[in-house]
Amino acid sequence: MFKYFEPNKIFSITSKAPKYVLFLFIVILSIGLTEALILSPEDYKQSHTVRIMYVHVPAAWISLGIFSAITFLSIVGYIFKIRNFFLIAKSLAPSGLVFNIIALVTGSIWGKPTWGTWWAWDARITSMLILALFYIMYLVAWRIFEDNDKAFKVTSIITILGIINVPIIKYSVDWWNTLHQPASINILSKSSIHISMLFPLMTMTAAFALFSLLIFLMKYNTELIKIKNKGLDRL
């Protein structure tokens, strides 16, 4: 079993993957931008301002998804002492933070013409800002603690505390009176968003997911090289 965790074997696969992911990212992003900026209709209330949605919403989704994945990997990795799970989680975090910041910035840009202000201490905006702080704490913890065991423990605690904020972000528009509109896309019920807007939204989400995968592979390969340089046989 442990032979599959040898840095050389993993690196032989992950080192070849970025060029294929980059190609797919460019293709999907090109389709997504064409749909979002040209082919999709303008909103009857927000006009062309609604096109910010095609960046803002996917960025928020990816950020939430990555933090959820980091939490899962950290908990399972800590319980079963699987170092590779921590390595994967650590490599995912930078792209998660990037998309969190993109969501906050685009939300602020969208808020100005829609709400008349760049920033409001709305429940969802505030909880997204808190998520960004957890991302930062997580990444800083990896830099502060040189002892891997201590880093594993501290980062796991940060993710467990941070994951509590994820459902708050999701359901904040239902639990409190907020400036944000209720969810337009529902998995268990019919979505209120039209297919002409849903398709570019899903396409841009796929493009952002590929971009986050590309960042992850670059970071993960760097971590594998560090392990190889230390002369470790396996993760």
pTM as predicted: 0.91
Neighbours of 186 (CB within 10 A): 11
Distance in angstroms (rounded) separating the CA atoms of residues 200 and 33:
8
Residue-by-residue DSSP string for the chain: -GGGG-HHHHHHHHTTHHHHHHHHHHHHHHHHHHIIIIISPPBTTTBGGGGGHHHHHHHHHHHHHHHHHHHHHHHHHHHHT-HHHHHHHHHHHHHHHHHHHHHHHHHHHHHHHHHSSS----HHHHHHHHHHHHHHHHHHHHHH--SHHHHHHHHHHHHHHHHTHHHHHHHHHHHS--SSPPPS--SSS--SS-HHHHHHHHHHHHHHHHHHHHHHHHHHHHHHHHHHHTT-S--
Distance in angstroms (rounded) separating the CA atoms of residues 54 and 48:
11
Chain-centroid distance of CA 45 in Å reads 29
Task: Dump pLDDT digits (tens) for 55-96.
Answer: 999 999 999 999 999 999 999 999 999 999 999 999 999 999
Q: Does 170 or 210 have the greater pLDDT score?
A: 210
95-102: average pLDDT: 98
Average pLDDT over all residues of the chain: 89
**Which of 73, 52, 64 is CA-nearest to residue 127?**
64
Backbone torsions φ then ψ of 145, nearest 5 degrees: -95, 110
85-109: average pLDDT: 96
Q: Does 176 or 165 have the greater pLDDT score?
A: 165
Task: Dump pLDDT digits (tens) for 179-192.
Answer: 777 666 665 566 67
